[in-house]
Structure 1
Amino acid sequence: MLLAQLLDRAGTGVWAAACVLYFTFVIGLDAGQVGLLLGASGVAGIAGSPLAGHLADRFPVRSLLIGAHLLRLGTLCLMLVVTDFALLLLVVAVTHLGDRGAKTLEMLFATRVAGDRRATYQALSRSSANAGYALGAGLAAIGLAVGTRGAYQVLILADALSFLVVAALVWRTKEPRGRGLVVPPAGPAEAAGPAEAAGPAGPADGTGPAAAAAPAGRGPWRDRGYLRFVLLDIPMHLDDSILGIGIPLWLVGRTEAPHELIPAFLVVNTVLVVLLQLQVSARVETARQAAGAVALYGVATFACCALLAGAGAGGVWGASAALLAAAVLATAAELVRSVSSWELAVRLAPKEARASYLGVAGMAQSVQKSAGPLLLTGVVMAAGPAGWLALGTAVAGLSLVQRRSSLRRLDRLERLERTPPVPAASG
């Protein structure tokens, strides 16, 4: 699975680096059409996670994952021949739908295969994914340097080929019996998660035990406690947009730092994730530790935003140092989030419907990818340094809310486990 992830992300890195130029110089779209194309694909991607989770509760995850990869293979091949904008809009939207669905199914499948080594797998997954993105970006740079129509088409075929190889690797990976996700029993210090919780319904506010151990027939869309977790998890993914969009645009528009510094942000991110993800994951092994780590995410994000707010007043060297330090802090936030977010999503979901719940949880990242760039460019950076300070303060405050909400839910689950079941009344 790790090799499959590396190849998947390498192909995705190729496409991410080349798609805008392909649409502009090969297809001939203007900037407005490209923006609409990518915006619509982002919206379609939001639906991919819950759809994948819904299907995973009913069909084998491995078969669905192979199908998602083959869907992406087909739509990328169609891009080589489709030039009509309306058809291209549909093809790109379906591609991103399959992309987000594949990533959710990939994590569902990997969670089952990894079992009680889920945290370690998540760390290795992040490392291989970042290495794959870097490899893909490097391959794309070669094609972009050539710059011909044929070179762009070779890049698309390379991405499509990666999905074919990944589908074959998934097909060779054995899937554990049963469709439900396997989560190891939690110890007392971990405040056992909902996979082991069972008992009578709690308060009707959607935050009690009933919300965590949803009764039969109750789905994630009716579980207000879990939806609150997903909603609060959206700003806990903003590090992605800050690193990829916010820091480079702030460098160009508001600081005296050299533009040649921009590639260094990706290098810093990739190297630190590869070197440190396992160590960070080793410190976040339980649901309570994951909830506590959310607060660290808020601290790292606030510090990152504070550095960006002051970067414009530091001259060339001061701005360069502040921006590089901000990239390090954004990466630190990513390291924490990549472990805590998924661990809490698993532990706070009921065992009997975990796939559909995790599908909904996957929407947090998709929504951030669509709304995050707009938030940064249209609100935060438009407000100047004060915008960065406001963003950092908001994320730090919401991280504390998320931490408290998750711990209270875990406390209720722990009390529920200690409460003996009420015997049924005799007739």
Structure 2
Amino acid sequence: MHDEKRSGGLLAQLRRPPGGRDGRIMLLVQFLDRLGTGVWAAASVLYFTFVSHLDAGQVGLLLGVAAVAGIAGSPIAGQLAERYSARTLLMWCHLLRLGTMLLLLVSRDFAALLAVMAVTCLAERGAKTLEMLFATRATDGQRTTYRALARTAMNAGYAVGAGLAAIGLAIGTTAAYQALVLANALSFAVTAALVARTGEQRPDPAPAASEPSVGREASGSSPWRDRGYLRFVLLDVPMSLDDSVLGVGLPLWLITSTDAPHALAPAFLVLNTVLVVVLQLRISGWAEGPRRATAAVTLNGLAMLAGCALLAFGTGGGAWSASIVLLCSALLVSGAELMRSVSSWELAVSLAPERSRASYLGVAGMAQSAQKALGPLLITGAVITAGPLGWLALGGGIAGLSVLQRRGCERRLARMPDLAAGSPAATEGAAAGARS
């Protein structure tokens, strides 16, 4: 029955996604949210340069500080979701982003812009954590399938948003840049209204007093005292560097160290988007459940090692050979991202005790926030500066850490009550329980 349901393909899954009506609404919310974000991401640097009249150093500082501020958004949202409705919190996150985008239009002072962007990133990361929590609570046994559909919707939204931004950037006037900011703000207004139409997402119920613990390390209700879970989150930061490699590393390496044509750079994003649409559902089906998700962790590390090794050894030829190697590397890194997106999502939920899942997922969301803040600095300041050895060190380091993360996850899963018996029957029962 499960295989028949999946065999319907992407369109069938989009018509009848996990979560029913709420699932459909939330997929539309994520599409529209990322559409607006795609518009802003493509235009932000030029907006700050030509409309706000900031120099390059100020723009870099502004975006860096905002990204660091965003790291706090995930745990704050997770902690609040232990007490309040996830739907209400998500609505306020979108409305807060609406307000900051409108303030951006009238802010000219650098300090004011810094505060506006810090709050924007804080609300953005909080919203992403709440979306993750919504899927965990509302999609029952199909959260991995929902995650695949959500990534497809989000990638499509980014692509459409970037296309819309290209129109405004081609016009290049102050009014055109401001129109792009308003388009982003409008997306938050619409998404807040759509979230209001979903069912109420109540906090997870407290367990009975007799409910067994997932292990001595998780005996407390706070993820900050759970060393095993914190190790998982810490290792998830370097495991998420595929994002910075695709968005920063490959384009800069193309420009600075190869003879490949500069026009090839957008192809990395296009290739990544196509692979997500074509393969995400299939890979999510293969990696469903905590046991398979741990196997995907190692595959993520191996794919990153192969992609980085290609960059180290294969881009020293002419334009054609360098172009082929760069595209192959982008293919491997995109494959690593597909594996990581599934394993990180599944394990963040499966390794968390149900009684405190919201706050645990808030801490897990910090891995992506930290990677977005620190990843570009690592790629530009260390990897590319070191040349081929830098790429080898990056790929080898991620591959080694993937082995550590897999072993740590396997040990923690073995201590989970449903998996303690270690038999095939127990494993199947635990996988089913983890989907609920």
Per the alignment, residue 289 of structure 1 pairs with 292
Quote the Cα distance in structure 2 between the aligned partners of 1:415 and 1:338: 24
1:391 counterpart = 2:403: no
- Alpha-carbon offset, residue 416 of structure 1: 7.4
CA-based RMSD of the aligned residues comes to 1.9
Given the two structures, how large is their TM-score scaled by the length of structure 2? Answer: 0.88
Per the alignment, residue 38 of structure 1 pairs with 63
- Alpha-carbon offset, residue 181 of structure 1: 8.1
TM alignment of 1:76-91, pairs within 5 A? 76-91=101-116
Tell me the amino acid that sits aligned with residue 139 of structure 1: L
Per the alignment, residue 199 of structure 1 pairs with 212
Structure 2 stretches of 5 or more lacking a match? 1-25, 423-436
C-alpha distance 292-181 of structure 1, shift in aligned 2 (>3 A): farther
- Alpha-carbon offset, residue 312 of structure 1: 3.0
Tell me the amino acid that sits aligned with residue 52 of structure 1: A
Q: Map Cα deviations across residues 301-334 of structure 1 (whole Å, 9 max, x no partner).
A: 0011011112331211110000001111111011
* Correspondence for 2:204 among 180, 189, 193: 180
- Alpha-carbon offset, residue 124 of structure 1: 0.2
Quote the Cα distance in structure 1 between the aligned partners of 2:133 and 2:111: 33
Q: Is the CA contact 1:18–1:140 (under 8 Å) kept in the aligned structure 2? A: yes
Per the alignment, residue 122 of structure 1 pairs with 147
Q: Is the CA contact 2:212–2:417 (under 8 Å) kept in the aligned structure 1? A: no
Q: Map Cα deviations across residues 313-362 of structure 1 (whole Å, 9 max, x no partner).
A: 12111100000011111110111111110110001111111000000000
Quote the Cα distance in structure 2 between the aligned partners of 1:313 and 1:418: 53
Q: Is the CA contact 1:255–1:311 (under 8 Å) kept in the aligned structure 2? A: no
Q: Is the CA contact 1:71–1:98 (under 8 Å) kept in the aligned structure 2? A: yes
Quote the Cα distance in structure 1 between the aligned partners of 2:129 and 2:115: 21
1:113 counterpart = 2:138: yes
Quote the Cα distance in structure 2 between the aligned partners of 1:47 and 1:347: 23
Farther off after superposition, 366-375 or 312-321: 312-321
Given the two structures, how large is their TM-score scaled by the length of structure 1? Answer: 0.90
Tell me the amino acid that sits aligned with residue 158 of structure 2: Y
Quote the Cα distance in structure 2 between the aligned partners of 1:257 and 1:336: 28
- Alpha-carbon offset, residue 418 of structure 1: 4.9
Per the alignment, residue 169 of structure 1 pairs with 194
Per the alignment, residue 230 of structure 2 pairs with 227
Farther off after superposition, 303-312 or 158-167: 303-312
C-alpha distance 342-150 of structure 1, shift in aligned 2 (>3 A): same
Tell me the amino acid that sits aligned with residue 212 of structure 2: G
Farther off after superposition, 16-25 or 165-174: 165-174
Per the alignment, residue 245 of structure 1 pairs with 248
Q: Is the CA contact 1:198–1:417 (under 8 Å) kept in the aligned structure 2? A: no
Per the alignment, residue 258 of structure 2 pairs with 255
Structure 1 stretches of 5 or more lacking a match? 183-193, 201-207, 420-427
Quote the Cα distance in structure 1 between the aligned partners of 2:292 and 2:408: 14
Quote the Cα distance in structure 1 between the aligned partners of 2:235 and 2:302: 16
Q: Number of residue pairs matched?
A: 397
- Alpha-carbon offset, residue 145 of structure 1: 0.2
Quote the Cα distance in structure 1 between the aligned partners of 2:200 and 2:292: 29
* Correspondence for 2:328 among 315, 325, 329: 325
C-alpha distance 100-389 of structure 1, shift in aligned 2 (>3 A): same
1:305 counterpart = 2:308: yes
Quote the Cα distance in structure 1 between the aligned partners of 2:413 and 2:362: 21
Quote the Cα distance in structure 2 between the aligned partners of 1:175 and 1:60: 7
Percent identical among aligned pairs is: 64
- Alpha-carbon offset, residue 414 of structure 1: 4.5
Per the alignment, residue 428 of structure 2 pairs with none
* Correspondence for 2:278 among 271, 275, 280: 275
Q: Is the CA contact 1:199–1:416 (under 8 Å) kept in the aligned structure 2? A: no
